[in-house]
Amino acid sequence: MNTKTQIGILGVGAIGTVIACYLNKKTGNELFYFSRTKKEQLKLITHNASLCTAIETHTSNSKIHQLDWLIICIKAHQYEGAKHWFTPLIQPKTKVVVIRNGLQLKEPILPFTSEQNILECIIDCPTELVKNKYYKTLKTPLLTVPKSTLANTFELLFNTSEIDILQVQDFKTQCWKKLCESATLGAILCLHNDTCRIFKSKSVQKQYRNLIAETIKVAVADGAKIEANFSNNILTKILNYPDTKGSSMLTDLRNNKLLELDAKNGIISQLGKQYNIETRLNDSIIIKLKSEIKN
């Protein structure tokens, strides 16, 4: 009888690779990988150590898997195309973790399982794709989840001495903080088609301050509690990144892939209209970036 915890990873890009590598470090976990494209290795550089793990990727959803956990590591715009995975992978006892930075994380999964089986999770783990197709983390991953019994069980899947898991009461505020950060950084890098080195420019710093200030207004209207020094703290964080640090949106732009505009700047614009807050900067970013790449 197999007593190992059966864990499925849906999506083995940057975040899926990071999560899988840390789960593999915990004795008692057995991982299964699901993706539309074949991947044969997990390659990660973290804490100055290189990890290369051979994996078998399932690209077909023809088989029903009895998973204890399904951890979903795909982008918001990929959910529509990934729906065919959910029925065979999510059984009545399967716990589902949605790892994505944004708002309304659990909504796409609600038709497939009960709400009590879904754990929303945001991640702070700046990652670069470096030579030989390795992902390199720039800091210890931080996973933030709503405080709950399910979150306690999720923590047990990891060696928490190597990865940080934060349980919070006000998960909505944490989601908004991460969205403010990622939507602003991603948009500015894409507008300039350049990496974090451009933040040395005072004009780019001013552009950042104006954009995040607009976004914070919407966040506060939606109930988030954003401290006065939040914008300065995020800018300091960005200025400490390596000059070569990009973002997932910039990578997608350069590869002519679909951008996460709807889930980032788009939802900010949408909620701004709902709360009668002008989002001129986010609106113009959406128009400009959509004109540069066919979404």
CATH number at residue 156: 3.40.50.720
pLDDT at 264 over 70: yes
| 270 and 126 within one domain | no
Asked whether residue 161 falls in the same domain as residue 203, the answer is no
Residue 34 and residue 143 in one domain:
yes
Is residue 239 over pLDDT 90? yes
Do 56 and 194 fall into the same domain? no
Backbone angles phi, psi at 13, to 5 degrees: -85, -145
Give me the pLDDT at residue 257, please: 87
Q: Do 160 and 34 fall within a single domain?
A: yes
Residue 97 reports pLDDT greater than 50: yes
Nearest-angstrom CA–CA distance, 117 and 150: 8
Q: Tell me the residue range of the domain where 246 lies.
A: 172-292
Q: Same domain, yes or no, for 111 and 243?
A: no
> Of 63 and 156, which is predicted with more confidence?
156
Is 200 in the same domain as 161? no
Task: State the pTM of this model.
Answer: 0.92
189 and 283 belong to one structural domain: yes
Which of these three, 169, 197, 212, is where a domain ends?
Answer: 169
pLDDT average, residue stretch 257-274: 94
How far does Cα 191 stand from its chain's mean position?
A: 21
Which run of H or of E encompasses 45? Answer: strand 41-46
Q: What is the pLDDT of residue 4?
A: 94
Please determine, for residue 1, whether its predicted confidence score (pLDDT) is greater than 80.
no
At 225, is the pLDDT very low, low, confident or very high (cuts 50, 70, 90)? very high
Domain count for the chain, please give it: 2
Pair (48, 128) in one structural domain? yes
H or E element, residue 280: helix 280-292
Task: Note whether 64 and 183 are same-domain residues.
Answer: no
Q: Does residue 295 register a pLDDT over 90?
A: no
Domain boundary (169, 191, 209) is at 169
Could you tell me what percentage of the chain is helix, strand and coil, using 3-state DSSP and rounding each to the nearest 5? 45, 20, 35
Decide which of 131, 154, 169 is a domain's last residue. Answer: 169
Say whether both 95 and 159 belong to one domain.
Answer: yes
Q: What integer is the mean pLDDT of 194-211?
A: 97
Long-range own/partner contacts, residues 284-290 (CB < 8 A, 24 or more apart): 285/187, 285/191, 285/211, 285/261, 286/261, 288/191, 289/187, 289/190, 289/191, 289/253, 289/259, 289/261, 290/259, 290/261
Q: What is the CATH number of the domain that holds 233?
A: 1.10.1040.10
Residues 62 and 148 in one domain: yes
